[in-house]
A and B are shown apart, each in its own frame.
Chain A
């Protein structure tokens, strides 16, 4: 019988702990496939964050390093400077990257660190149980914003891709989502292009993936996909913000 589809070698066989309907699983698969298809899986070192993806070191089938909250880009920098010919990536959520780790991500991009970052933006702290993130939308309820995010009290959500696109060292910046098969295909293309930016020695790359958190949003998986499209995409527009050729 002809095999038309099989699980990528980029992932281990360990079942993930993610909630039903969470899009982490899709993104993990895309990252695993990209590593395998670009031929870098066996020289890859991934850096896992603190947050829902804290156990990512069990799921990616390559060497992994578990970082402290927000510090993945610094850890990845240390690895890449020692092993410049290896492939080094971080996988981080919005609490990790956009809050406690802003200094690390900004300066890794600023140095043009030859690493790749997958940034999961689901507008909430998932692992700790639904607290407000810097990416939480105005009016969106969270356990630490019970009345909804109040702009006067804590500002508007931060747009990481737009911010990083202002930094010269960030050679590839794109925001994608995975709410439909078409979006999934575009996301994979962006992830591969981002990884190539590192492989070709051009500098720092990041793909921001708008993701769902049905559990903490209090929605069914399908409702969550629609909520993302109706609420997150208008504030976080999809698209490419930077490609290496545009920078040069």
Chain B
């Protein structure tokens, strides 16, 4: 298929339909509204259903019902709306239902703003809802990767019976780039024999549930969930690295911020600095092991984010004190410039070379 020029939010919709998603439940919020608008237009053409819910809470609970009924289903929102969905996300994780949740992040806290941000890293990777659960969190850096991850995200969700989140900043949603929709590497997906589709008098009732009143049973359920998360940690880490075996300074960045970092690195290289990059594509499971490949002479690891330093915790866990960890970030919808990053790297070097 030839490449087409598409806005990120619309590419998510096209990729989802390509992945066989026929159901979308959502609620309008900037800066992701092009996605529900695209789905409202396109889903009926493929025999699917787009439904605008009365709230984000209702939307995620519609997803909960549709996922229980065995459908490929998704919702999308932006930061404050994702906060509202946390209840349903926790239930989906607890009841082990697959679905895709898209968060096109804007600045916070509270109502915040509508400009691009990466301020929901904690919420996405630590769990904004109650209980010991995990989402697979995918952080695309360009529109092609966004489309690829949406398509693969549905497979990951089905394989592990777990919600998957696409965590994009506002720029990913709004920018336009050429994109094609490719079928991912085939995964062995289990039959959805647990779905509530009616017994037809042929089997015992299926029950979708996250309630276990007996403490022993709930602990067993949690052990099963944790075993699943361990398997995801072993099998699903995605990361891209550049020059970390040789770099004096390694930068950790994800999403569109990683692209600004690349511009900064190119500029620094022209001036003779050796700077590497670790770009986590899965924010959970986090690519901790990748940081072990950093050379021993590295002066430090710089985390660059569009927030007040949320991924820094994971970077510190990853480096285990081997290197000093630095942070540079902008908040509120402000975007770091390459020059600001260049300046910060030179600071770590101890001034101009």
Contacts and interface: CB of A to CB of B under 8 A. Distances in A.
A61 B201 CA distance: 10
Interface in B3-17: none
B61 A103 contact: no
B61 A81 contact: no
Given A57-B209, A74-B53, A67 B64 contact: yes
Interface in B36-82: 49, 51, 53-55, 57-59, 61-71, 73
Given A78-B25, A83-B69, A66 B62 contact: no
A104 B64 CA distance: 14
B201 A42 contact: yes
B197 A83 contact: yes
Given A63-B207, A65-B65, A77-B51, A82 B58 contact: no
A86 B64 CA distance: 17
A62 B66 contact: no
A76 B197 CA distance: 12
Nearest to A83: B69
Nearest to B49: A81
Interface in A41-94: 42-45, 47, 54-55, 57-58, 60-68, 71, 74-83, 86-87
Contacts of A61: 205
A29 interface: no
B66 A82 contact: yes
Given A61-B205, A63-B196, A81 B54 contact: no
Interface residues of A, number: 36
B68 A75 contact: yes
A107 interface: yes
Contacts of A60: 205
Nearest to A100: B57
A66 B210 contact: yes
Nearest to A80: B65
A104 B205 contact: no
B53 A54 contact: no
A24 B66 CA distance: 28
Contact of B205 (A47, A64, A74, A78): A64
Contacts of A74: 53, 57-59, 61-62, 64-65
A77 B208 contact: no
Contact of B61 (A43, A67, A106): A67
A81 B70 CA distance: 12
B64 A75 contact: yes
B109 interface: no
Contact of B196 (A54, A64, A81): A64
Interface in A73-127: 74-83, 86-87, 103-104, 106-107
7 contacts: A42-B201, A65-B196, A71-B87, A77-B58, A78-B65, A81-B66, A103-B55
Interface of A: 12, 42-45, 47, 54-55, 57-58, 60-68, 71, 74-83, 86-87, 103-104, 106-107
Given A55-B211, A61-B205, A78-B64, 7 more contacts: A64-B207, A65-B65, A65-B196, A79-B68, A81-B66, A83-B69, A106-B54
